[in-house]
């Protein structure tokens, strides 16, 4: 809850400022193939601490991803490692051909991460920049 309730750090995120039960209600038991999607925990392997989370909504042939890293662990490669792993896992799903993300135009760290991961900006509006990554489909 500490990083999710840091309203300055979370200024670009929608899910914030809740109490423990509010987070449990919002984050537990969601179906990633539903219209609301759900969160995945990002855990530090050495300590076992929660260091961030990933959002995932699968609506074939697309999926929408999002990511948050605690400020304590920011800019140490954890976001890149977590999102790279998510991309790799999603690339194995036969019904996913495009991964999407939308980012607040002021969130330069997330924009940089998406570009580093190969996402291309497809459009923009006043509130968001939209990115896509096409998944290579293996031919059998």
Q: Is residue 105 part of a domain?
A: yes
Give the number of domains in the chain.
Answer: 1
| pLDDT tier, 12 (very low <50, low <70, confident <90, very high otherwise) | low
Average pLDDT, the chain: 84
Residue 46 near residue 21, CB atoms below 8 Å = no
Q: Is residue 57 part of a domain?
A: yes
Q: Is residue 25 part of a domain?
A: no
Domain that holds residue 108: 31-134
Q: Domain containing 80 — which CATH number? A: 3.40.630.30
CA distance to 20, 21, 51, 67, per residue, from 45 (Å)? 24, 26, 10, 18
Residues 6 or more apart in contact with residue 137 via CB below 8 angstroms: 97
Residue 50 near residue 23, CB atoms below 8 Å = no
23-33: pLDDT as tens digits: 666 666 666 77
CA dihedral 84, 94, 98, 64 (to 10 degrees): -70
List, in sequence order, the alpha helices (H) in 3-139: 20-27, 78-91, 108-116
Q: Is residue 18 part of a domain?
A: no
Q: What is residue 139's predicted lDDT score, i.e. its pLDDT?
A: 47
Q: What is residue 111's predicted lDDT score, i.e. its pLDDT?
A: 96
- CB neighbourhood size of 116 (10 A): 12
Q: Is residue 17 part of a domain?
A: no
State yes or no: pLDDT of 96 exceeds 50. Answer: yes
CA distance to 70, 73, 85, per residue, from 10 (Å)? 9, 14, 23
């Amino acid at each position: 809850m500490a990083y999710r309730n840091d309203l300055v750090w979370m200024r670009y995120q929608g899910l914030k400022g809740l109490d423990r039960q509010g987070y449990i209600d919002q984050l537990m038991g969601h179906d990633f193939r539903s219209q609301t999607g759900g969160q995945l925990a990002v855990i530090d392997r050495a300590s076992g601490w929660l260091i961030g989370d990933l959002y995932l909504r699968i609506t074939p042939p697309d999926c929408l991803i999002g990511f948050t890293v605690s400020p304590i662990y920011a800019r140490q490669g954890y976001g890149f490692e977590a999102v790279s792993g998510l991309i790799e896992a999603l690339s194995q799903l036969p019904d996913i051909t495009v991964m999407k993300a939308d980012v607040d135009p002021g969130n330069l760290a997330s924009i940089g991460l998406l570009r580093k991961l190969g996402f291309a900006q497809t459009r923009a509006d006043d509130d968001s920049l939209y990115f896509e990554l096409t998944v290579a489909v293996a031919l059998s």
